[in-house]
Structure 1
Amino acid sequence: MEEDSEIEVMSEIHLGCPPAATNDPFLSRFTFSFPSNTVSVDKDGDLLLPRRNYPSPSFTVTIQHSITSNLRHVGLQVWKAQLVLSEFVLHKICTSSDFHGIVCLELGAGTGLLGILLARVAKAIFLTDHGDEILGNCAKNLELNSSLFHPHTVVNVRELNWMSDWPIQDTHALSPLFMSSYCWNKQDFELVKCASFIFAADVIYSDDLTIALFSMLRRVMSFGCDKVLYLGLEKRYNFSLDDLNVVANGYTCFRSYVKEDGIGKQEKRSFVGKRIDVTQIPHYLKDYDRGEDVELWEIKYVLRLKFQCLI
């Protein structure tokens, strides 16, 4: 397992980048273009009449990233499911007020691309990941794109190890030796209690990681008000010596946690999800191929009461 974590991998999104001759980060620019038939609404859900320069025909997000990385640092790259989930979020922003003024949390935020889009309309965002290098790169990307944010949006970058407790200890109450700019505080937890949405993309690629993810989701989605998870994944196929077959790493484990549309045996509390039709999401980004293996899911953590089974 430790040897596997040192294998260098590269996202398909970076295939057009020049060879990585050094370990220096690379800057890519992602231009989001609005289809001419996109319907826009204001924060109250009312239709906005087309007018000159609204919405902007396009805008560009600049992302600092690595071209290759080992498995422990894949958050330094941009991955395909993150782009598809970003297009879904942008489509929601353009066509509804669902994400306007929300408090939200992203697990495995990586480069921060999705959070940058949400910062155009959200009230407060917590972008979480693990490790100072990934968190520092995410913070750098927020700085590069701060001009795109709504002026009142608060964006926080926070350390979150899915193996840790939740809520984690208030590290601001500890000695300054244990503090960093990515520590949580009591005010953060009060805000997260009010969070209505959680986002995650490209976090399903190993069973161990998937188990840790859903362990954390159980705790976070039970913390405060009800929360909806939007999750993007790409099925990555490899030959398994254990199964003597080609398998999508982590995907079977993921499906063991999520009951699609509530079908199957229901536990007292369980994750219930439905797939989102990716083909109905406009292509706001033109320079990549979504392929056939990306899935988007809407997932809730549902309490099943006995009387709900009665007819």
Structure 2
Amino acid sequence: MKDSEIHLMSEIHLGCPPATNGPFVSRFTFSSPLGLGGSSNDHISVDKDGDLLLPRRTSKSFHLMTPGFLFLDSFTVTIQHCITSTLRDVGLQVWKAQLVLSDFVLHKMCTSSQLNSIVCLELGSGTGLLGILLARVAKAVFLTDHGYEILGNCLRNVEMNSSLFNPQAVVNVRELNWMSEWPVDGDCRVPEKYRWSSQDFEQVKSASFIFAADVIYSDDLTVALFSMLKRVMSFGCDKVLYLGLEKRYNFSLDDLNVVANGYACFRSYIKEDELCEQEEKSFVGKRIDVTQIPQYTKGYDRGEDVELWEIKYVA
């Protein structure tokens, strides 16, 4: 069987009804404490598993409290997705590292105002779940992926969840092939709703954060990803990348062992802070301790193989 005919399933979708001809709809519930103001670190309690201990409240709304911290009881994001897909169309599914990165983003929203009113860019947005969360506090969110079926599904999810957004937020779904030039030329073959404008590029220049989740699974794509990151992270102001990945293991005939080759390719691009002593620009990263991030997203098991990284492109 050809690789293009092999269907994959995210473990997030295990237990879903058998695949049908149409898309499946899941509802992801996010919960956190409802604070009373000030630094919300004082209001967060977790159990021994890292899950939040929630106070009993009757309200289900969210609030932006001074100085802009996000406090909430719970809210639900509705996501249209496929239960299985080919490798080329994995962006039609929800993957574990996307949920862990979502937990990280929500934790930042609840404990600081760092993400308030930002312009941000997501690479490999897939279903758009993370971007939908970012739109609750951001000024402008650019969700990017490659392939019109994935982009169409992402746009549909954005539209279904627009009532959750910060009223001032602008969410854009854009086509971005990591093997293309940057800035992207105005390819007339791309449908206008996914096409970049000169105004888009001006906004991305001011983007302070880039996000990516579950984009490390093919060495060719990893090479293309870091090629694109070099150009995007040198475009306009300094940018910080938050990247979530899951180590995926397979048996290697070359190594005669079970290895995570995709992860090794990723790490070949990253220098640890204390080891970076070069004049030329390079990707400098530090691993975020996932165990210190409460699990805001309910109904999934993080496991042991998900990592989050904070990465900068510096000299």
Residues 1-311 of structure 1 correspond to what in structure 2 (within 5 A)? 3-20=2-19, 22-35=20-33, 54=63, 55-171=71-187, 174=188, 179-263=191-275, 266=278, 268-303=280-315
Contact 1:262 1:273 in 2 (8 A): no
What is the CA–CA distance in structure 2 between the aligned matches of 1:267 and 1:240, rounded to whole Å? 36
Number of equivalent positions: 293
Deviation at 1:260, TM superposition (A): 1.6
3-state SS of the aligned residue for 2:194?
A: coil
What is the CA–CA distance in structure 2 between the aligned matches of 1:262 and 1:98, rounded to whole Å? 25
3-state SS of the aligned residue for 1:209?
A: helix
- In structure 1, what residue type is equivalent to 2:21? N
Deviation at 1:23, TM superposition (A): 2.6
**TM value normalised by structure 2:** 0.88
**TM value normalised by structure 1:** 0.89
Deviation at 1:267, TM superposition (A): 5.5
Deviation at 1:180, TM superposition (A): 2.7
**What are structure 2's unaligned runs of at least 5 residues?**
44-54, 64-70
Contact 2:286 2:311 in 1 (8 A): yes
- In structure 2, what residue type is equivalent to 1:210? T
What is the CA–CA distance in structure 2 between the aligned matches of 1:262 and 1:221, rounded to whole Å? 21
3-state SS of the aligned residue for 1:135?
A: helix
**2:46 matched to which residue of 1?**
none
Deviation at 1:16, TM superposition (A): 1.7
**What are structure 1's unaligned runs of at least 5 residues?**
304-311
Deviation at 1:9, TM superposition (A): 0.3
Deviation at 1:240, TM superposition (A): 1.5
- The percentage of counterpart residues that share the same residue type is 76
Distance 1:164 1:39, change over 3 A: farther
Deviation at 1:35, TM superposition (A): 3.6
What is the CA–CA distance in structure 2 between the aligned matches of 1:257 and 1:285, rounded to whole Å? 30
Post-superposition Cα deviations, 1:174-217, rounded to whole Å, max 9, x if no partner, equal 5xx65431000100000000000000000001111110100000
3-state SS of the aligned residue for 1:181?
A: helix
Contact 2:128 2:158 in 1 (8 A): yes
